[in-house]
Structure 1
Amino acid sequence: MTDTSTPPSAEPSEASASPEAPASSEEVASSEVKKSETVATDGDLFRQSEIAADYIEGLLDILDYDGDIDELVSAGRPMVEVVGGRLQPLVGQRGATLEALQELTRLAIFRATGSPSRLLLDIGGYRAARRKELGAVARNAVEKVKEHGDPVRLEPMSAFERKCVHDVVNAIPGVQSESEGVEPSRRIVVRVAD
């Protein structure tokens, strides 16, 4: 019998959402995870990272890719980092393949534990490098907003990317950010704070 249940995606919630835009699946799933009465312990989170590491190791074997896999728990979420040469095809254009692999790995955790996971998968240091790039994009948008006073709409981004931008913008006084639109065209608008 095939299990057709699908785990909710549990990407971190964004700083704010546009009141006129419907909630994205990430935001709905995130609120469902927060409503959950069971709180995962560090042991549970580390178990999730072990399951994820085993799953990723199996994929690397099938693809005949070499990579070192680190499993850890950081900031209350399981993480798996894969480092090594020749891993760019697993990241894909703008991290699209990485995002898909992360969702598949979360599904593997869900099938093994029966609980949704907020696993964060990184391959070849892509997320750390992208976080730096997005910090620069956010600061540039803030400068434009402060200089001209007009809202700045950024290009559509993944939930991970939007979270990175929200974190930077919301740490700067006098400006605010919010998300608008629906996936896959959901984007951030940076504006003068109310």
Structure 2
Amino acid sequence: MTNATNQTSALSLEELEAQGDHAADYIEEFLDLADLDGDLDLEVKNNRAYVSINGGGADLEKLANPEVVQALQELTRLAVQRKTGDFSGLILDVAGSREARETELRELADHAIAQVAAGKDEVAMDPLSSYERKLVHDYVAERGYHSESHGEGRGRRLVISAAA
């Protein structure tokens, strides 16, 4: 585990809720500046604060692009860290983008698993964020296959193979 993961795990429920509140304040200000509507939902689960923006209509859908969500999530994490002094593993969802991305990741993993099942020794996926890699690691394990992360930084990717 990385230090960042350890720091996130060590936070209390109250600290995680405070991170969610700080994130919501930051996102509300962002939405106001961008003249966008949206309802915010806060939740703490799996030792992370989750903030969802919903109900903003077609204008909010423009923010639901995975790269935009990732960038806004990183900015929000930095704003929360600046306020609290603690690393934030906050997860941001815009208009159901996380669920859509999880479905896409499962499909990509299924495609890689099919290649392994057809005889390939291993299949490397495109680079993914740490959160996305965790989702795929869990999914691959559920399917009875093995995955490992390779590479550094933004180039870190999963390699899927048959179970050892």
TM-score by length of 2: 0.88
Q: Give the drift of 1:137.
A: 1.7
Percent identity of equivalent pairs: 41
What do the CA deviations read for 1:143-168 (whole angstroms, capped 9, x no partner)? 22122142112222222322221111
**What's the Cα RMSD here?**
2.0
Relative CO higher for 1 or 2, CA cutoff 8 Å, sep ≥ 6?
A: 1
In structure 2, list runs of 5 or more residues that go unmatched. none
Residue identity in the other structure for 1:116: F
Deviations 1:18-66 (A, max 9, x none): xxxxxxxxxxxx6213555x93221111111011001000000000001
* Paired letter, 2:104: E
Hey, what does 1:102 align to over in structure 2? 73
Q: SS of 1:80's equivalent?
A: strand
User: What CA distance in whole angstroms lies between the structure 1 residues aligned with 2:5 and 2:152?
Assistant: 22
Consecutive unaligned residues of structure 1, counting only runs of 5 or more, are: 1-29
The total of aligned residue pairs comes to 162
1:42 to 3, 9, 13: 13
- The one-character-per-residue Cα deviations of 1:53-105 (angstroms, maximum 9, x if unpaired) are 0100000000000111111212221111001212233233xx11211111111
Paired residue secondary structure (2:153): coil
Quick check: 65-74 or 54-63, which moved more?
Answer: 65-74
* Bigger helix share: 2
Change in CA separation of 1:140 and 1:32 when aligned onto 2, cut-off 3 Å: same
> Aligned with 2:87: secondary structure?
coil
Q: Given residue 163 of structure 1, which amino acid in structure 2 is its aligned partner?
A: K
> Which residues in structure 2 correspond to 1:1-194 (within 5 Å)?
31-36=2-7, 39-83=10-54, 84-85=56-57, 86-92=59-65, 95-173=66-144, 175-194=145-164
